[in-house]
Structure 1
């Protein structure tokens, strides 16, 4: 299955910001072949059916593909399938990720801490690195390759150094021990800070190959991240996931190329 369309691979494309990114690309006049990665193929197929009901006329196509970034065999099989059918990737969007800080509340003590932190880094950092490393050969076959990592506004060291105070409420607690449970999502934030460093290193490694590398900070949006629920997040002022999808579309389409190698948000560039 060859195509003249721009080929985009997005992990975790069947829900949340991933889904809205696919939708934004489908709604664009530019033609794309979007390979919607999902841990379960049926979930991608269901999401594509929903997209078809929301966008009736599109110059693009969406193809479901099974990708579980925590499974090396799944990544390898996806690579082989995409290589045989398309031969290249023009944009790789590392969108799949999750927050596991709730584990520390469910399992107080060392066991919960270790599980939350190790799972956060396994999914958001290690698995993303494996996914990227595997797909670089296909990306280098593109005439205009772009590599995107979806990060978070909570990853900024500059913001944290000024005193972290999220919209969910995580100011400095009272003196003494033990400290009360808080909404600082420290394991998630730390893993996304590590992801930013990963992006910087890929920008270095791929500089001579002409790959434009970005980290995208979509903003505080009403997604299912962390299991809090979109409705609850809206009460705290969260925007719609479509805002994130539109930002990612702009990066894919080259509107933010001047900011390559940086953390891009809707207002400009996010401080480190």
Structure 2
């Protein structure tokens, strides 16, 4: 049941940044036992086939576990399955998340529904999964716990317009009511608020697990051209988004110990993200 390879569980590992994390780890000289968590197992199987096709000589091994952040039953079964397969968990990468601001701005979701869904997926579901996974993490020699946050979640930078992205999301609309969202891609208000909450949750886990030797971070991967929010990768690239592979490599670096000096912080590839 046990393996000499580090056991790495990546939620939302079948697409977007999650898949790029899988790719980056699989391309490493170090071998991992990579578990892809996803709502539909067949999409995880397809992701594995893709990575194996791209990296036929990878030393890593792969498996899929069904994992839906809005279902406690699914999360309980996922952790039970990992325990049965491996008996421990070396790295939990809480990558899965969603943005519902686009649906709110388009009118397909109401305010309460969009905000509740944002927090349910990005915060509550992640908290439940992490709580369930802790006993397996504590069985590892060098456990690591990563939460994927956002560069839009920093409170300090809500007053900044120093970059095009900050200028866009922090701009104040014209006077009057109702306020209209900018055409095409409005500020992700519910999403960024939930990720600010996630940062506090990370700080709590840092406190809770400090004496257990678990290294904890919030990873701010940068503005990446993924499918998050349903805007489309090409539109995001036009707005200055980077290739998602950059985020995958960054997360791999954290898993491999290159940011151990920044435990307990929200970190970017080149700096500590301000709170």
TM-score (norm 2): 0.95
Give yes or no for the alignment of 1:53 onto 2:56: no
Tell me if structure 1 keeps the 8 A contact 2:250–2:269. Answer: yes
Quote the offset at 1:169 in angstroms.
2.8
Instruction: Tell me the distance in 1 between the aligned counterparts of 2:164 and 2:146.
Output: 25
Quote the offset at 1:85 in angstroms.
1.2
Deviations 1:105-141 (CA, angstroms, capped at 9, x unpaired): 2328xx7111110100000000000000000000000
Instruction: Tell me the distance in 2 between the aligned counterparts of 1:68 and 1:164.
Output: 37
Q: Which residue of 2 aligns with 1:208?
A: 211
Structure 1's consecutive aligned runs of 4 or more residues displaced over 6 angstroms after TM superposition are none
Q: Which residue of 2 aligns with 1:93?
A: 93
Q: Which residue of 2 aligns with 1:40?
A: 40
Deviations 1:183-232 (CA, angstroms, capped at 9, x unpaired): 11100000000000000000000000000000000000100000000011
Quote the offset at 1:165 in angstroms.
7.2
SS state at 1:239 partner: coil
Deviations 1:63-121 (CA, angstroms, capped at 9, x unpaired): 1111112111111111111111100000000000010012222328xx71111101000
Instruction: Tell me the distance in 2 between the aligned counterparts of 1:49 and 1:86.
Output: 22
Match of 1:118 among 100, 116, 119: 116
Q: Which residue of 2 aligns with 1:224?
A: 227
Instruction: Tell me the distance in 2 between the aligned counterparts of 1:39 and 1:164.
Output: 38
SS state at 2:110 partner: helix
RMSD after superposition: 1.5
Give yes or no for the alignment of 1:153 onto 2:151: yes
Count of paired positions:
270
TM-score (norm 1): 0.96
Q: Which residue of 2 aligns with 1:233?
A: 236
Quote the offset at 1:236 in angstroms.
1.1
Q: Which residue of 1 aligns with 2:256?
A: 253
Instruction: Tell me the distance in 1 between the aligned counterparts of 2:125 and 2:164.
Output: 27
SS state at 1:58 partner: coil
Instruction: Tell me the distance in 2 between the aligned counterparts of 1:7 and 1:267.
Output: 27
Instruction: Tell me the distance in 2 between the aligned counterparts of 1:140 and 1:161.
Output: 40
Tell me if structure 2 keeps the 8 A contact 1:166–1:184. Answer: no
